[in-house]
Amino acid sequence: MTVSHLHYTAWPDHGVPDNVMSLIAFIRHVRKLHPVSHQQPLLVHCSAGVGRTGTLILLDIIMQQMKTEGTISVLHWLRNLRMQRMKMVQSQQQYEFIHCGLSELVVCGETEVGAANLRIALKNLKKKGPVGFTGFQRQMQIIEEVSSHHPVTFSDAEEEYNRNKNRFPDKLPNDTYRVRLRCGPMPGSDYINASFVNGYKQKGAYIATQCPLENTVADFWRMVNEFQCGCVVMLCQLQEEGEESSCCFWPEEEGESVVHGKLSVKLVSVKTHGDIVTRKLEMVEGAARLNRPHMVHLLQLTSWPLQGLPHPMAILSLIDQLTSTQMRCGNRRTVIMCSDGVSRTGTFLTIHCQLERLKTEGVVDFLQTIKSARLHRPGLVNNTDHYVFCHEVVNMYLDNFDTYANFEFKEVFEFL
């Protein structure tokens, strides 16, 4: 007998998951492997077998009801469950969580697309509906609508002593998911305008951030060092349309070292391939003879304009280079940044995340990926053109499928 064990890893000991749609996606995945028509029972368990277990089972039942009857009877089915096992769905918070999930399910609809259907979906989403909006525009409206209900606070970023560390006053990290540096003696010493964002396979796989200001360069390198980041992806140039998008935060000459506080950063090599500049940097904290160097690869894409989009192949080339670099440096956390840490940053990490999922499951879901990422960093992928571009890059990946030897579908049984 073969048993498939699927493990949902995002449920905390107390409370509910941050993203209800990740649980719904998990249930859908379960039902692909174990359809409702399956004669053998589905085993669901948690610590006590009532709270989290009951929440998942009730959500699954209502999702089936919505699909077959087009109706929702949460209270009826909860009573039915509790007649069979006491205290199923243990708290009001879990009960509200179920309703939030069903509400989002109704608003968002089914947005997961299989690889074989992506080209058709792309074509259909470009068509205008009865009210004059394309499918892409409507989905962006849904993202904005659902994201507006996310509980976010920016109190740390808005502290008087932190305001000059933000390039734009409206592009700030959510307090809950901001990167926290080791505290120093000064107020705000733990602050940097950067946020953890989940990847497809790894929690907090990305750090999304603005490019450094002159007064935050030392903080940036502290972050890279403290969180042992292996790659930094920079999606802008230093100057764009006559304005500074980033200060130069690396040594300019090969072999040159620059000291930032306790960190020494040395430029080991620079290589340019097309519109991608790769800088290999060596970081040492304190005395070089006492501490092991930390190698960092800075990949800069120079062809993404402030207003506009690069060629999709430029993004695929950058991701290909990032993937090979990550494999060499041990798949450590990746920093992704642009001038504001939101627009180009969000678009790139969405594409990267979708390609990871495509290779593994053979499906993509742009809307849910962006909605989930916005919990961590508000405003990611902030216009329809970037949303369309995400689809077009992944579609081009499929068109050039044979070029990428790593494309294969595998089953994964852990959900973040």
For 7-110, which CATH class?
alpha beta
Q: Is 183 a catalytic residue?
A: no
Which whole-number Å values give the CA distances from 271 to 163, 298, 300, 408, in the listed order? Answer: 36, 11, 11, 31
Active-site residue identified among 108, 231, 338, 353 = 338
Say what the pTM is. 0.90
- Distance, in Å, from the CA atom of 331 to the CA atom of 127, rounded to the nearest integer, reads 39
Active-site residue identified among 46, 100, 247, 329 = 46
DSSP 3-state of 357: helix
Q: What is the model's pLDDT at position 289?
A: 56
Report DSSP state, residue 215: G
Q: Is the Cβ–Cβ distance between 177 and 156 less than 8 Å? A: no
What the block records as the tokens of 289 is 């003879």
- pLDDT 10s digits, 279-294: 999 999 976 656 789 9
What the block records as the tokens of 208 is 């999304």
Q: Is the Cβ–Cβ distance between 236 and 339 less than 8 Å? A: yes
- pLDDT 10s digits, 92-135: 999 999 999 999 999 998 899 999 999 999 999 999 988 899 99
CATH architecture of the domain 163-415 equals: Alpha-Beta Complex (3.90)
Q: Which residues pair with 276 in a beta bridge?
A: 273, 301
Q: What is the model's pLDDT at position 411?
A: 41
CB atoms within 10 A of CB 338: 26
Do 7-110 and 163-415 show the same overall fold? yes
Give the closest residue to 188 by CA, choosing from 213, 163, 224. Answer: 163
- pLDDT 10s digits, 222-272: 999 999 999 999 999 999 999 999 999 999 999 999 999 899 999 999 999
- Distance, in Å, from the CA atom of 118 to the CA atom of 123, rounded to the nearest integer, reads 9
Report which residue type is found at 18. D
Q: Is the Cβ–Cβ distance between 312 and 351 less than 8 Å? A: no
Give 158's contacts (C-beta < 8 A, 6+ positions apart): 172
Least reliable range by pLDDT among 67-81, 112-126, 301-315, 389-403:
389-403
Helix ranges (DSSP H) in 109-256: 118-125, 135-147, 217-226
Q: If you average pLDDT over each of 28-32, 147-151, 307-311, 329-333, which comes out highest?
A: 307-311
Per-chain mean pLDDT for the chain: 92
**Domain spans of the chain?**
7-110, 163-415
